[in-house]
Amino acid sequence: MWQHLAFDRVRADVLALQAKAELAGCALGCAYMSTAEFEAAVIRSKRAAGVYGRRRLWGCTLGVGAGAAALAIFIFMI
């Protein structure tokens, strides 16, 4: 009798494990084919939401400032 109850318990555990494995397989499905495609979609949605803001032209600003400083030094040296 004891062996029969133990067998039923093991069988129930195996069936529960199979059901959990099937649910886990469904949860792993993804709409994107690769990580790069997922990252591109994330960036696209963030840009649409305005997270990144306006692009600033720091390089151009620093170049003009350095040029003006060099010109000022050159004028004062003459």
One digit per residue, pLDDT tens: the chain, 78 residues? 445 555 567 788 888 888 877 776 655 566 777 888 889 999 899 888 888 777 677 778 888 999 999 999 989 887
Residue 7 pLDDT: 59
Among 19, 20, 45, residue whose Cα is nearest residue 32: 45
Q: Which residue has the tokens 């494990």?
A: 17
What's the rounded Cα separation, in Å, for the pair 6 and 58?
Answer: 73
Residue 57 pLDDT: 74
Phi and psi torsions of 29, nearest 5°? -65, 140
